[in-house]
Amino acid sequence: MATASESNTPQPPLPLKNRVAIVTGGSRGIGKAIALHLASLGAGVVINYTSNSAQADSVAAQINSTTKATPTTAIAVRADVSDADQVKSLFDAAEAHFLSQVHILVNSAGIIDPKYPSIVNTTLQDFDNIFSVNARGAFVCCREAANRLKRGGGGRIILLTTSLVAALKPGYGAYTASKAAVEAMAKILAKELKGTHITVNCVAPGPIATEMFFDGKTEEQIKRVVDESPLCRLGIPDDVAPVVGFLASDAGQWVNGQVVRVNGGYV
């Protein structure tokens, strides 16, 4: 039991108090875990989604029911990340709701072909769909965030990629290529934003137990992935979220233009 003096001891401020974060693809999987974690660090969070409003609203409700701040700690906003006008509206909604600039963008939205075809069996339509969300979406969101954060005096841009860029596994050609493009873009953007107090980094998870990972895989394929891991398990979204929280906080201010591979030694 805490003593009276302990209970009266002022608590240190939350590391992201009074900051506003947009998490694209924040309604499920890794994005959801990131949204919950950033909120636990004190950030106001905008949960972006494309189609499932019930999932996004549920995440916002979970945050708002567990935080001690105002009832407006989290909101859900629909936007297609590949559409520049919708992304602008997403940022406008965040600023209007929180009466504040956006300080943090976490670009977690992404898709993969669950058939895991070889490059020669990937259709042009599937290739275009993957690049539209993963690469074009990251570009549109980064461009909007960079312009807003420059006006606001700085901030954080964090992009989710994949450790497959280093592993280069067959069956993930289009997906891996789209995420490799994001990593190159992030490193260049970090240099282009010199003097703006904006950092740009990538977080590249390894195999994580999410719906997207399990979709289309057999039990044997999943077991094979686990067997390749030095830690003998799949990662979970909560393995990734604290790394994003670190990069979003002042503790990560000297990390810029990097790819942080969060994969348990898979690569």
pLDDT in tens, 236-257: 999 999 999 999 999 999 999 9
pTM: 0.94
Residue 54 covered by a domain: yes
Is 10 a domain residue?
no
Q: Is residue 221 part of a domain?
A: yes
- The yes-or-no answer on residue 175 being catalytic is yes
Question: What is the domain range of residue 208?
Answer: 16-262
pLDDT score recorded for residue 10: 74
Strand partners, 76: 47
**Running DSSP on this structure, what letter comes out for residue 136?**
I
Q: What is the pLDDT of residue 71?
A: 47
Region of 25 on the Ramachandran plot (φ > 0 left; ψ -120 to 50 alpha; else beta): left
Q: Which of the residues in the chain have pLDDT under 70?
A: 1-7, 67-72
Q: Determine the pLDDT at residue 112.
A: 97
According to DSSP, residue 235 is labeled B
b/e per residue 183-214 (b: at least 16 CB within 10 A):
bebbbebbeebeeeebbbbbbbbbbbebeebe
The whole-number pLDDT of residue 90 equals 98
- Predicted pLDDT of residue 6: 54
Q: Which of 49, 116, 175, 266 is catalytic?
A: 175
Please name the amino acid found at residue 21. Answer: A
Residue 7 in domain: no
Q: Is residue 6 part of a domain?
A: no
Q: Any idea what the CATH number is for the domain that residue 98 is in?
A: 3.40.50.720
* Count of structural domains within the chain: 1
Asked whether residue 207 is domain-assigned, the answer is: yes
**Residue 9 forms part of a structural domain:** no
CA angle centred on 213, ends 209 and 218, rounded to 5°: 105
Assess if residue 4 is contained within a domain: no
